[in-house]
Amino acid sequence: MARSRQGKPPSFPVPRLALLLLCLAGLESSCSRPQQAQAPPRAHDPVPVPRESSILSVPVDVDASAIRHAVEQAIPRQLWTINRHSPRCIPPQRVKILGAKLNVTPAISCTIMGVVTRGPVHLRGEGQDIVADIPIHAQISARDVGGILKGETATGSALARARIRLDIGKDWKPRGTVRLHYDWTQAPGIDFLGQRITFTDEADRKLRPVVRNLERDLPRTLSRANLPAQVERLWRQSFTSVQLNERKPPVWMRVTPLRILYNGYAMRESRLRFNLGIEAVTETYVGNRPRPVEPTALPPPASAKADGQFHFFIPVTADYAELEPVIMRALTKRSHRPFRLPTVGPVVARFDKVEAYGTTGGRIAVGLTLAARPEARGKADEVHGRIWITAIPRNAPNSPKVHFDALAVAGNTDALSGDLLLALGNSPAVSTLIAQSLTQNFSNDIAELLGKIRRAIDEKRMGDFLITTDLEQVEIGQIKAFGQGLHLPIRARGKARIAYKPS
C-alpha cells in the first residue's frame, strides 16, 4: 500500500486542453480557484439499545415421591375390619311336595369376620389431576356356622382412586384438594355361601376421614419439595447478562425479569412438572458486559401461558476503524487498473489513506487521501489531495446488502486541476466499490455472528438453571450511520426453555 507524502506536495500546471475538458465536463464549479471544503462534522450519537420483551418457558420439576409418600402415610395399611352376625349365612333348604315348598332345614346363622387392607399406592397423571390408585383387598371368613361348619373363607379386591388437584398460592406454596372416586367394575364385595357381601358403604365411611387428613397433611408434605425456594433462586439468577458473542465484536444480552407466570402442572413419570415462565426485558449491548439489574423481591405468580417465545436483538455494529481497512483494500486492488472518466478518459489513481466516521443526518463520511493523473500524463502531473464522500447508507427490507443514496463529494486539492479528484470521487467506479466492500463485509459479519450466537445460546448455564434456545426467525432492520458506528439492527425470535439443573 502506498504511503502519504510528508508535507504538501508542489502543484504542477496542467495543460490548457485538460483544464478546458474539465470545465466543459462541468467538473469544475468556478474554474478559477481550487475548491476548499471542510471535513464533514463528526456525529456523537450512540447506537440505541432496544428493549425486547420475551417470555421464557421455565418448567420446574419436583420429585413426586413426596406426594406418594403423603398418600401412603395418610391411608393406613389396614383400612377397617368386618365383624357382624348374619342370621342367614346358609339359607333354609327346601323341597317341593304337591306344589308346595317346605323347609327341610332351618336357616343357619354365622358370624362374618374379615379385614380390608390396601396395597402399594401408585401415582399417575391425568391432565391436571394427580391420580393415586389405591388397590383394596378383602379377606372374609364365616365362623360358628350353626355349630356345624368350622368356617369358610373368601377373598375379594377392588380399586379406589384419589384424585388430587394442586394450586399455587400467592406465597408460591402448593396446596391440594382431594376427591375420592371408585372405579369399580362391580360393587366391591365377594360372593360367600350363596350371598353377596359388599363393603361399599364401609369404604365410603372409612375413607372419608382419610381424605380430610390427606388434604390437611398434603401441603406440609409438598413443602418438603421447597418450590418457593426454587422459584426464588430462579428469579434472582435470572437477573443476569448472557454473552452472545465473545469478540469481534463482544455482544452481551442483559436479562431483567418482570414477572413469573404460572400455567399449571403435569405428572410425568415420577416427576411433577410445574409449568412456569419468566417475562423479561432483554437488552443487547456491544462491548463490555453490562452490569445486571439488582434483583427485586419475588412477585406472586401471574396467570398466563408461558409460550417460550424468546425475542432478542442482535446488533451488527461496524466500528468505523474496522471499516477503513476494508475500504482501503478494495480501493487499492481496484487502482491496479485505470478509472475511466467521461470526457477525461483513463485516469490512474493511488489511494494513500482512508478515514471513515459518522456525520450528521444519518450519513457516513469517507475521506480519501489520494493522487490521480490522466493515464497519458507522467507522474509529474499527479494531483494530490483529500476528497470527502458522504452518503446515506440504505438496505432493502430483510437484506444485509448495503447501497448508498444522496451521494455528495467535496474536497481539498493542491491545484486547479484537483477537480480531477472530485470527478474521480463522483465516479460510480469509486462509490460503488465502497458500497460493495461494505456490503460484503456486512453479509459475512451477519452470517458469522448468527452462527456464533446460535452456538453461544444453544445451551447456556445461569447458576442452577440451564437455558436452551432455538433461533427460528431472523429479521434484518434498516442500516443507519451513528457516531459510534455503522449499525444494522437484527431481531431474532425463537423458543427458549430454562431447566432447573443444580451444578
Report residue 35's pLDDT band, with 50, 70 and 90 as the boundaries. very low
Grid coordinates given for 138: 378383602
357 pLDDT above the threshold of 70: yes
Across 221-225, 267-271, 305-309, least confident range: 305-309
Give the span between the Cα atoms of 35 and 16, in whole angstroms.
Answer: 19
Q: Is the pLDDT of residue 446 over 90?
A: no
Candidate ranges 10-14, 141-145, 190-194, 362-366; pick with highest mean pLDDT: 362-366
Say what percent of the chain tops pLDDT 70: 73
Least confident of 46-50, 179-183, 332-336: 179-183
Q: Is the pLDDT confidence value at 23 over 60?
A: no
The reported pLDDT for the residue numbered 160 is 80
Q: Which of 61-75, 102-116, 285-299, 466-480 has the lowest mean pLDDT?
A: 102-116
Q: Residue 199 has what pLDDT? A: 62
What pLDDT score does 14 carry?
Answer: 34
Q: Which residue has the cell 445461569?
A: 462
Res. 133: pLDDT tops 60: yes
**CB neighbour class for 316 (10 Å; exposed up to 12, middle 13-18, buried from 19):** buried
Q: What is the mean pLDDT of residues 260-274?
A: 82
Name 12's Cβ contacts closer than 8 Å, sequence gap at least 6: 380, 381, 382, 415
**Among 53-67, 133-147, 225-239, the range of highest mean pLDDT:** 225-239
Output the CA torsion 67→72→73→76 (10° steps): 150
- How far is residue 369's CA from residue 327's CA, in Å, rounded to a whole number? 12
Question: pLDDT value at position 297?
Answer: 93
Among the listed residues 265, 283, 267, the one whose alpha carbon sits nearest the alpha carbon of residue 275: 265
**Single pTM value for the model:** 0.57
**Residue predicted with more confidence, 202 or 30:** 202
**pLDDT greater at residue 314 or residue 370:** 370
Selected residue with higher pLDDT from 268 and 386: 386
Q: Is it the case that residue 41 has pLDDT exceeding 90?
A: yes
Cβ distance 238 to 462 under 8 Å? Answer: yes
What does the mean pLDDT of the chain come to?
75
Mean pLDDT across 29-37: 42
Q: Which three cell numbers stand for residue 454?
A: 446460535
